[in-house]
Amino acid sequence: MKDFFKVMDLDQVLAFRSDFPKVGTEEIPLTAAVGRILAEDVRSDMNLPYFRRTTVDGYAIQAASGFGASESNPAYLTVSGVISMGESPDFSVGPGKAARISTGGMLPRGADSVVMIEHTEALDETTIEVYKSVAPGQNVIEPGEDFQQDEIILSAGRKIRPQEMGLLAAFGRETVTVYRKPVVSIISTGDEIVPINQRPGVGQIRDINSYTLAGLVREAGGTPLGFDIVRDDYNALLGICSEAVEQSDMVLISGGSSVGMRDFTIEVLADLPQSEILVHGISVSPGKPTILARVGDKPFWGLPGHVVSAMVIFVTVVRPFIEHATGLSEKDHRALGIPARLSRNLASAQGRVDFVRVRLVPKEDGLWAEPVLGKSGLINTMIRADGLIEIGRDTEGLDKGEPVLVMRV
């Protein structure tokens, strides 16, 4: 009988990431950059903001001119000008003076703060009463307060979110160099699997994994490349696998990873040119029957066929490899979960890591994680779940009320 012959711990498997290269880079328009991974360090070529600017509508003054001012004892200041937006004021504000200014306007020389319009009253064209004092620097953004000239404002490996797009825009970057999106081939195998546009006959099932995996690949920053369903046939599988390796940066094949009579994945992988089996079996549940091979310099995964197992292995193992390929600075999704408390006791076998599907339930006393139990062939358990919790390999289980981290799925 066949057997799993290279069973490894999760962390041993994850350590293989560094054996694989990152994908190349490309220059893209800033408008298309959201979700991409920066491949360059970006340096500021000027202060942001470039000039001292106010955050309110009011009067630019020297703070000392209004010290001690109150409703009952206002300070009287002389208006020496109005500041036009987008221009540098050509006058200064001395002691006892004020200049009308709008939000975002540049402070004139001499002024160090801005008193809000609602804390003043104009007595006539040139005189105001100030009812509230301001501290030096109040209601003002200093030059370089946001970002200083000549600093690294974003480092390579950073995921570009809308706020990073805004920052790049602030520095006039119309294009940005990012890592290419890794192309990930997705192959489903099994004589019983039919395309989703067919009504399954008795003994058949529609291809679920190609779709869950394509969604997961996209979420992880890759581009999925779909293939036709492959029958349980050594030659057919070998042909498609060779094609997939040619056309992509990583291959995922689901089904046929176990040790049954029709599980050819391991043989095909062993026979592909320049192939080395790194892992055959991971000490996790669900998803033990997982294969990782290196074909040339590309990772090739045999994922378990069960719909939940394929997803769990993707988010816990495959995703970190995709993120590595995209150049993303290391991000530990398992450690970044949402803190919650377990709603019931959970038993677990020692010697393997268990990933348990949970639903998040907000209650008066905080967030609770309620296990969604069920076989790993049932997609409904993933539909009802909000995430996964991890039970460590040296733990016999968790007690009701114990703190857990919920990794979103």
Ligand X SMILES: Nc1nc2c(c(=O)[nH]1)N[C@H]1C(S)=C(S)[C@@H](COP(=O)(O)OP(=O)(O)OC[C@H]3O[C@@H](n4cnc5c(N)ncnc54)[C@H](O)[C@@H]3O)O[C@H]1N2
- Footprint on this chain of ligand X (rule: CB under 6 A): 188, 190, 192-193, 205, 207-210, 254-260, 263, 286, 288-289, 304-307, 309, 376-377
**Residue 119 or 306 having the CB closest to ligand MOO:** 306
Q: Which does 278 bind (CB under 5 to 8 A by kind): ligand MOO, ligand X, none?
A: none
Q: Which does 281 bind (CB under 5 to 8 A by kind): ligand MOO, ligand X, none?
A: none
Q: Which does 209 bind (CB under 5 to 8 A by kind): ligand X, ligand MOO, none?
A: ligand X
Helix (H) or strand (E) holding 342: strand 338-342
CA distance 122 to 129: 6
Residue nearest to ligand X (CB): 305
Tokens of 222: 């890759």
Q: What is the dihedral of CA 346, 351, 356, 360, to 10 degrees?
A: 70
Question: Tokens 């045999």 correspond to what residue?
Answer: 302
For the CB of residue 26, give the shortest distance to ligand X in the complex, in Å. 32
287 scored as a contact of ligand MOO (CB under 6 A): yes
Give the 3-state secondary structure of residue 31.
helix
Q: Would you say 195 and 183 are in contact if contact means Cβ atoms under 8 Å apart?
A: no
242 scored as a contact of ligand MOO (CB under 6 A): no
CA distance 339 to 403: 7
**Residue 268 or 282 having the CB closest to ligand MOO:** 282
* Letter string b/e over residues 272-298, b meaning 16 or more CB atoms within 10 A of that residue's CB: beebebbbbbbbbbbbbbbbbbbbeeb
CA distance 120 to 265: 78
Helix (H) or strand (E) holding 61: strand 58-61
For the CB of residue 286, give the shortest distance to ligand MOO in the complex, in Å. 3
- In the list 182, 286, 299, 337, the residue contacting ligand MOO (rule: CB under 6 A) is 286
Q: Which does 263 bind (CB under 5 to 8 A by kind): ligand MOO, ligand X, none?
A: ligand X
6 scored as a contact of ligand MOO (CB under 6 A): no
Tokens of 295: 């074909």
In this chain, which stretch among 89-97, 120-128, 283-291, 335-343 interacts with ligand MOO, using CB under 6 A? 283-291
For the CB of residue 225, give the shortest distance to ligand X in the complex, in Å. 16
119 scored as a contact of ligand MOO (CB under 6 A): no
Amino acid present at 304? P
For the CB of residue 246, give the shortest distance to ligand X in the complex, in Å. 22
| Interacting residues with ligand MOO (CB under 6 A) | 285-289, 304, 306, 309, 376
